[in-house]
């Protein structure tokens, strides 16, 4: 069982927007700004798409946006494209000094 | 461009040791904590270890505590993971990452 809770799978159609949630506690997601989202295509290394809740690293698509409310962080992907089909993981620093991951969400674009 | 390049993985027998390295470039290395994460085939990402900006504070997951040691050399922009007492279930792809980037991984296989 992962420390952060994400839906196991989601699906959307091209052009739609979807939001993936990541729920933790006040000791991790709710207690600091260090929430990261990564995208992983099959057989590839993960890639950071958002850090510090809502910041995009250089090269990341502006179709990815992030937010946080209480102990839940959210990743929104707008204008879904076939290339967005991948696994998405959230991660958060925790008060204990370690880093927690979600179990991952498999996004299917149908 | 943020670049993290891992090396040092390989095939090792149970009980053996390996030292992983991760060379970083494209960002101010001392501004960030550095982490190691692993992923077994078909499984999710599992956090392993982290080191703070200057190497003075480290944390490890319970399942590697006492066997793995994380460190960094800020003069060389490199983070290390010293792994001892390796077990079959330590077999995985090991990635280094920071808030702004991930490496491509190095494969560790523990088998007799």
DSSP string for B48-94? EEEE-TTSS-EEE-TTTTTTEEEEEETTTTEEEEEE-S--GGG-EEE
DSSP state of A98: S
Contact check, Cβ <8 Å, B99/A101 = no
Query: What value does the mean pLDDT take over residues B20-31?
Result: 96
**Chain A residues within 8 A of B101 when measuring between CB atoms:** 48, 57
When CB atoms are compared, the residue of A2, A58, A98 closest to B59 is A98
Spatial CA neighbour of B27 closest among B65, B79, B68: B79
Question: Which is more confident, A96 or B73?
Answer: B73
User: Residue A1 above 80 pLDDT?
Assistant: no
Whether A48 and B100 lie within 8 Å, measured CB to CB:
yes
pLDDT per position as a tens digit, B29-48: 999 999 999 999 999 999 99
What is the residue-averaged pLDDT of chain B?
96
CA distance linking residue B77 with residue B23, whole number of Å? 6
Q: What is the mean pLDDT of residues A96-100?
A: 91
**Which residue, B50, B74, B77, is CA-closest to B64?**
B50
Q: Which of A57, A96, A103 sits opposite B44 (nearest CB)?
A: A103
pLDDT of residue B2: 92
Average pLDDT for residues A92-100, to the nearest whole number? 92
Report how far residue A108's alpha carbon sits from residue A20's, in angstroms, rounded to the nearest whole number. 12
Give per-residue pLDDT as tens, B93-112: 999 999 889 999 999 999 99
pLDDT of residue A76: 98
**B54-67 residue pLDDT tens:** 999 999 999 998 99
A88 contact partners, CB below 8 Å, separation of at least 6: A6, A20, A37, A38, A39, A40, A49, A75, A104, A105, A107
Cα B54 from Cα B73, distance rounded (Å):
8
Residue B72 pLDDT exceeds 70: yes
> Nearest-CA residue of chain B relative to A8?
B44
Is A46 within 8 Å of B101 when comparing Cβ atoms?
A: no
Local confidence band at A3 (pLDDT 50, 70, 90 cut-offs): confident
Q: Using the beta-carbon criterion (under 8 Å), do A98 and B44 form an inter-chain contact?
A: no
Tell if the CB–CB gap between A45 and B105 is shorter than 8 Å. yes
pLDDT digits (tens, 9 = 90+) for A32-82: 999 999 999 999 999 999 999 999 988 899 999 999 999 999 999 999 999
Average pLDDT, chain A: 95
- E strands, chain A, where? 9-12, 18-23, 35-40, 47-50, 64-69, 72-77, 86-93, 99-101, 105-109
The first and second tokens of residue A15, run together, are: 């052009």
C-alpha dihedral, A25 to B55 to B101 to A35, nearest 10°:
10
Residues of A with CB under 8 A from a CB of B: 2, 34, 36, 38, 40, 45-48, 51-52, 57-59, 89, 91, 93, 96-101, 103-104
* Nearest CA-CA partner of A64 in A49, A53, A51: A49
Once rounded to an integer, what is the mean pLDDT over residues B8-23? Answer: 98
Does A2 score more than 70 pLDDT? Answer: no
Residue length of chain B: 112
Q: Is B29 helix (H, G, I), strand (E, B) or coil?
A: helix
Q: Which residues of B touch A36 (CB under 8 A)?
A: 99
In 10 A of CB A72, how many CB atoms?
A: 17
Q: Alpha-carbon distance A29 to A89, whole Å?
A: 13
């Amino acid at each position: 069982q992962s420390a952060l809770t994400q839906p196991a799978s989601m699906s959307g159609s091209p052009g739609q927007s979807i939001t993936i949630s990541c729920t933790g506690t006040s000791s991790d997601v709710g207690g600091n700004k260090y929430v990261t989202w990564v995208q992983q295509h099959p057989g590839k290394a993960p890639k950071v798409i958002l850090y510090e809740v809502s910041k995009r690293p250089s090269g990341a698509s502006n179709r990815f946006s992030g937010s946080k409310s209480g102990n839940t962080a959210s990743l929104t992907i707008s204008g879904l494209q076939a290339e967005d089909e991948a696994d998405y993981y959230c991660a958060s620093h925790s008060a204990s000094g370690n880093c927690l991951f979600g179990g991952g969400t498999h996004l299917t674009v149908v | 461009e943020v670049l993290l390049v891992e090396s040092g993985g390989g095939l090792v027998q149970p009980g053996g040791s390996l030292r992983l390295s991760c060379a970083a470039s494209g960002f101010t290395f001392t501004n960030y904590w550095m982490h190691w994460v692993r992923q077994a085939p078909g499984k999710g990402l599992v956090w392993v270890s982290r080191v703070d900006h200057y190497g003075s504070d480290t944390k490890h997951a319970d399942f590697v505590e006492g066997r793995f040691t994380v460190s960094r050399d800020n003069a060389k922009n490199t983070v290390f993971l010293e792994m001892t007492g390796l077990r079959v279930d330590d077999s995985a792809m090991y990635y280094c990452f920071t808030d702004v980037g991930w490496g491509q991984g190095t494969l560790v296989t523990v088998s007799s």
